[in-house]
Structure 1
Amino acid sequence: MSEVPGGPTRHTTTAPSVRTVAGARRNPNVYGNDYDAPRWLRATAGVSWRLLVVALAVVVIFTAVWHVQLLLIAVFIALVVSAVLRPAVDWLAKGMPRFAATAVALIGGILFFLGLLTWVGYSVASQWDKLSAQFSDGIGQITDFLESGNLPFKVTSDQVAQWIDTGRDWVQTHSGEIASAAASRTGSVVEVFTTLALALFCAVFFLARGTDMWTWFLNQLPARHRETWKTAGGAGWYTFSGYARGTVIIAVTEGGLAFIILTILRVPLSAPLSVLVFIGAFIPLIGGPAAMVVAMLVALAANGVWSAIFVGVGIALIGQFEGHFLQPLIMGRQVKIHPVVIALAVTGGTLLGGLLGAVIAVPLISVCWSIFSRLRTLDPPMDEEEEDEVEEDVEPVDEAVSER
């Protein structure tokens, strides 16, 4: 309390002094918002939640795809057919209407496929009697070889007979389950034919009006985004069509070479086995070895060990010819993926989608990488003079550190 001359007494309150402690006084507008965690932790947290959002989006996409997988399979088959037959349709369209050219190309492709199946069936039917005798002799030779004792283990004919009886008993015991499983597959057969019909229907319009459909889609987008979508779509289709056509050409070449080798070695079922090699070419890294093993087993059972070895060597040489000559020549610059990426893609596709995933994985990765490569902007690489300047700047620092 203080007295002022000529006035009343005033009560004054003195505010307590604020002690400033080093490190304790902070800006209340900033503390607790930006500086409550280290910079590296904030950066890591920002990247982490973004990665979680991306992972969640991927899971949602795969879940949706799983529910409509037959639809996507049909579209994928239609795109493959369109990529393979597009050059023929463009050539035929020079002298006839586009729809007529599409019909001629599709009918020709279907007749080729049916002719291939007929050739395989006729080969099996015409060689069946001879095959039965050859397989009986081959299995007898294999059994004699196993009983000879030249291997670390020994298998007797009694053991082989016991294995056959065990297999027969298992089939008789589980015959009801096998029949019910076969009956449950009836729906799958219907789904397969439905998928093929839908793929054929889509392929007709992709070949006849594909350009018009793509133009219509671009016109539905805002004008500022059309050029980006046009560039991405062109890059993706260029890569996908090149991959599809190149794979078909390589598969036909491998199947023809396999048929020649199997015919020269007089291996039975050379036509079905060459078709198996043709189908295996569509599955990178897995299809070729699987077809080779099957062909070697047939050659072993029919003609003996040396025939199986020669078949394995011949198909392996075909694989080397395909990897070192056909792939660079036919695919060219359209599909350039490192073998490690192919192996990872095929493995991941097989784990996620089985055989279908293994077939789709590589073209899907190729298209995504092609679009990314076309849309991204790379910084110019350093010249040799810039690298020399960097080395000169680093050397004095290293010398100063060593002196300390």
Structure 2
Amino acid sequence: MSWRLLVVVAAIALVFYATSRVQLLFIALFLALVFTAVLRPAVELFARVMPRPLATALALLGGVLVLLGMLTYVGVSVAGQWSKLSDQFGDGIDDIIDFLENGAPFTVTTDQINQWIENGRTWIEEHGGELASEAAAGAGSVVEILTALALATFCAVFFLTSGRQMWAWFLSQLPPAARESWRVAGGAGWYTFSGYTRGILIIAVSDGLLAFILLSIIGVPLAAPLAVLVLIGAFIPLVGAPAAMVIAMIVALAANGPIQAAVVGIGIALIGQFEGHVLQPLVMGKQVALHPVVIAVVVLGGTLTAGILGAVIAVPLVAVAWTVFSRLRTPESEVDPEDVEDPSETFDGEGDRA
């Protein structure tokens, strides 16, 4: 078993190394599969009444228009509330400073806050060159992102138009004895990946709408941009959406005071409960059969390995791998939890059998 584990670890390390060498290509192909999974139902629907290439073009155009419309709405809402928001933030910051000086369990004076600000300004002046270099690198990253999006769109067009023929061609290149296993593994993996992708999109949109309704009722400024932030955060399981809502709490605290911030916090908890107990089982079903503990470990591992990108892609990749493994393996027997002894009852404190 040790030798087998070493071989598995070496294979995983090789995959990670190869992926790191062609990271942009991997991201583009991953995004192409995401676009394919999301748009395929629309393409199949349009293909009933028009040629498939035209159906693919129409579905892609519709997705782009929806995305641009959402971004336009966010921009308009920010522009319309900016002047009012600046005044509210000024009053809110004054209230927070007053609370820290007089009402908080610990005292923070205005002089201390000004000193922190001055220290921050000094640090920026001292590290201006490094920040400029990072900004230039960020500009290069924007070019890479646009390149990845262009390649992903290009590949998605062919996946949507002739994906079945491409998969059949790949299977034809394999030895006949191995084709069935690859066919089963590919079908199971795509079923899980497409189900997860569409499911997380539905959950993200639902979280964004619920956040927008909650923030609008409470009267938190920039409800639309914050709702979009929640929508984006939902693509990081367990932690993304709550982290985005915490930002909304900070905005509510600065603009409207602690009571509204507390109400937003309660709303965060309610939305999280609704997602975990209603949306996840209803939308995902059995397509992503991963325990929450596994998801938490996978998200943390992905974050440590590849940052935010790793946190986003880790869960679907592990879900696909587990689905393929479960589909191909033939277990001899299952262990009943009732037959497993409690270690605390099996041995006493001195290590002797009780």
Q: Same fold (TM over 0.5)?
A: yes
SS of the residue aligned with 2:108? coil
Instruction: State the shift of 1:381 in Å.
Output: 5.3
Counterpart selection for 1:206 from 135, 159, 181:
159
1:339 to 2:288 alignment: no
Q: What is the TM-score of this pair, normalised by structure 1?
A: 0.81
Instruction: State the shift of 1:126 in Å.
Output: 0.9
SS of the residue aligned with 2:313? helix
CA distance, structure 2, for counterparts of residue 48 and residue 366 of structure 1: 25
Counterpart selection for 1:160 from 101, 108, 113:
113
Matched positions, count: 337
Cα displacement string for residues 23-78 of structure 1 (whole angstroms, at most 9, x for unaligned residues): xxxxxxxxxxxxxxxxxxxxxxxx33332232222222211110111111111111
Unaligned 5+ segments in structure 2 are 340-354
Q: Counterparts in 2 of 1:312-331, with a 5 A limit? A: 312-331=265-284
Q: What residue identity is the alignment partner of 1:333? A: K
CA distance, structure 2, for counterparts of residue 139 and residue 219 of structure 1: 66
1:364 to 2:317 alignment: yes
Counterpart of 2:34?
80
CA distance, structure 1, for counterparts of residue 264 and residue 289 of structure 2: 30
Q: Counterparts in 2 of 1:5-404, with a 5 A limit? A: 47-148=1-102, 150-380=103-333
Q: What residue identity is the alignment partner of 2:31? A: I
CA distance, structure 2, for counterparts of residue 202 and residue 90 of structure 1: 18
Query: Taking structure 1 as reference, are residues 71 and 153 closer, same or farther at Cα in structure 2, changes over 3 Å only?
Result: same
- Bigger helix share: 2
Q: What residue identity is the alignment partner of 2:53? A: F
Q: What is the TM-score of this pair, normalised by structure 2?
A: 0.92
Query: Taking structure 1 as reference, are residues 97 and 160 closer, same or farther at Cα in structure 2, changes over 3 Å only?
Result: same
Instruction: State the shift of 1:170 in Å.
Output: 2.3
Query: Taking structure 1 as reference, are residues 144 and 56 closer, same or farther at Cα in structure 2, changes over 3 Å only?
Result: same
Counterpart of 1:14?
none
Q: What residue identity is the alignment partner of 2:100? A: L
Instruction: State the shift of 1:382 in Å.
Output: 8.6
Instruction: State the shift of 1:380 in Å.
Output: 4.8
Q: What residue identity is the alignment partner of 2:202? A: I
Unaligned 5+ segments in structure 1 are 1-46, 388-404
SS of the residue aligned with 1:127? helix
Q: What residue identity is the alignment partner of 1:369? A: W
Query: Taking structure 1 as reference, are residues 146 and 212 closer, same or farther at Cα in structure 2, changes over 3 Å only?
Result: same
CA distance, structure 1, for counterparts of residue 329 and residue 125 of structure 2: 62
Q: What residue identity is the alignment partner of 2:44? A: D
CA distance, structure 1, for counterparts of residue 298 and residue 49 of structure 2: 42
SS of the residue aligned with 1:85? helix
Query: Taking structure 1 as reference, are residues 147 and 81 closer, same or farther at Cα in structure 2, changes over 3 Å only?
Result: same
Cα displacement string for residues 283-324 of structure 1 (whole angstroms, at most 9, x for unaligned residues): 012202211210000000000001111011112211110000
SS of the residue aligned with 2:290? coil
| Aligned-residue identity in percent | 65
- CA RMSD in angstroms comes to 1.4
CA distance, structure 1, for counterparts of residue 82 and residue 19 of structure 2: 43
